[in-house]
Amino acid sequence: MKIVIYAMGQIFERYKKRINWDDIIALCDKNATDSSFFYNEYKIPVIPVKSLCDLEYDFIAVFSNPYFEEIKMDLVGQYFVPKDKVISWRNIVDEQVIDDFLLYRPYLKEKKYKRFLDVGMNVLPVRYLTKSELLMGEEIILDGIQSESAIYNQNLYDNAYENINECKKNYDVIFFWSELQCMDGTLEKLYRRTKDIIVRAERKTISDRKAMQERLWQYGKVKCISTVEGDFWTINTEGKKETEDIAIYVIIHKKYNLYSNNTYIPLCVGGYREDGHLKEEEGANIAHLNKKINECTALYWIWKNTRSSYVGLNHYRRYFYNNEIRSMDNYLDHEHISDIMDQYDIILPLSVPLEKITIYEQIRNSMDPELCRKGYKMIRDKIKEKQPDYLKAFESVLNGHIIFNCNIFVTKRKILDQYCEWLFSFLIEAAEEIDVEGYDSYSQRVIGFFAERMWTVWLRKNRFRIKELPYVIIR
């Protein structure tokens, strides 16, 4: 096994004695320079991130907890490292996992399942005494199928079956605690009696991981979710079909290893072009304003040139998650969008509260103050002229302390049309008329910074059902 260690901070220092150094071929750190030096008696080279492309390795083990997902996304996106090669430090350090169930909890809370089956009964009883502790007080039914190492607890399980043949009920979700456990015939006998199956995944080579996925596909729609705490498989046995017409446009202005599929569609802006990607200069557009209003030129292009029933906008480094599991494997997917749109009108990022400064002060503090004042006056005057009913909402939001950030969303076509009719009735003129000559390139985007706050302004005066979701935050 050839492993590269990424990040040499506190976690690395704490666990470095528990690493099998025979497997380590390099250490990588953002502070490393081109003049590499060697680490410890094994003479392991310490290299800068850009040197990864010169190495052959099986995995990159990231020694960070709070920044694991950000580091992983940068490695995949900016340095084109295969996603499955980026793993948590826990995979190469001999550390006992205290609570496997913590991996699953965000997934299960979002699903709101009530009927659980534990295959084995040898993991949950180690950590929990009562059912209420599992999902923090929510009422559930928990049954179990005993194994040789089962730990029976009357207060934890509603029913404990000695073998699989005794268990006749249907469940919302079934837990397996290892891949080997579910491959002994138990999964084959149970999968028709549950909506979902969760299997604790093992760290394997990419080819082994793909082989496991192919074995599991026969039981339903399979996904492997990788997090800093560990990996697990989900198998949706219902296999909801992708019938809704959904398109989320991923805005990109430079070369980057994008996450894209039938739902996520790259759209190039700011003069950037890449074969196979859509370009905002083609079709009805305001591409000439990109340096002033950022991704709003892409929003205009989407409004004028596409007609999917559900539509969204993401940035190349900002995606929604399905739930609180912050993992590249858990970006908002077609199935979740369909479920959400049955109950809501629009998906927006979790609102951001600012305690000590206003939204206007936040913008002013990030750029040239004089141009910020000019931008504010320009936007305010145009709203007063074109959309006077929204003037109070505009002032309230800019002088307030909370917004929906980043200008990313997913919504129904009718709502997008309504919002864009409103937004571009004043935004285009404001961008064309403001004089930004002589200011730095960042400050020249002042109208775009105010435009980013317009979803919050518009929604102050329009009643819609809003679903807030966590999202990738990478600067």
- What is the model's pLDDT at position 461? 95
- What is the model's pLDDT at position 428? 98
Sheet with strand 264-268: strands edge to edge: 278-279, 264-268, 246-252, 310-315, 409-412, 346-349, 466-469
Neighbour count for residue 337 (Cβ, 10 Å): 22
Which domains, from first to last, does the chain contain? 3-91 (3.40.50.720), 101-236 (3.40.50.150), 246-338 (no CATH), 349-469 (no CATH)
- Rounded to 5°, the CA angle 375-377-379 comes to 70
Q: Are 387 and 422 within 8 A, CB to CB?
A: yes
Q: What is the DSSP letter of 351?
A: P
CA distance 59 to 81: 10
Question: Which of 161, 157, 196, 416 lies closest to 312, judged by CA?
Answer: 416
Write the burial class of residue 442 (CB in 10 Å: 0-12 exposed, 13-18 middle, 19+ buried). exposed
Neighbour count for residue 414 (Cβ, 10 Å): 10
DSSP character string of 172-201:
EEEEESSHHHHTTTHHHHHGGGEEEEEEEP
Per the document, the length of the chain is: 475
Element (H, E) at 266: strand 264-268
Which one-letter amino acid corresponds to residue 226? Answer: S
Span 172-226, pLDDT tens digits: 999 999 898 888 889 999 999 999 999 998 867 677 888 888 899 999 999 989 8
CA distance 212 to 203: 11
CA distance 47 to 37: 8
Q: Are 440 and 326 within 8 A, CB to CB?
A: no
CA distance 6 to 49: 9
- 3-class secondary-structure state, position 461: coil
Q: Are 355 and 401 within 8 A, CB to CB?
A: yes
Span 387-445, pLDDT tens digits: 999 999 999 999 999 999 999 999 999 999 999 999 999 999 999 999 999 999 999 99
Q: Which residues of the chain have pLDDT under 70?
A: 34-36, 94-98, 203, 205, 239-243, 474-475
CA distance 291 to 288: 8
- What is the model's pLDDT at position 97? 58
- What is the model's pLDDT at position 99? 75
Looking up tokens 């993401």 gives: 314
Q: Give the whole-number percent of the chain exceeding pLDDT 90.
A: 72
3-state DSSP: the chain helix, strand, coil percent, rounded to 5?
40, 25, 40
- What is the model's pLDDT at position 469? 96
**59, two tokens:** 């995995």
| Residues 144, 150, 156, 161, CA torsion sign | positive
Q: Are 165 and 134 within 8 A, CB to CB?
A: no
Write the burial class of residue 322 (CB in 10 Å: 0-12 exposed, 13-18 middle, 19+ buried). buried
**123, two tokens:** 């993991």
- What is the model's pLDDT at position 131? 87
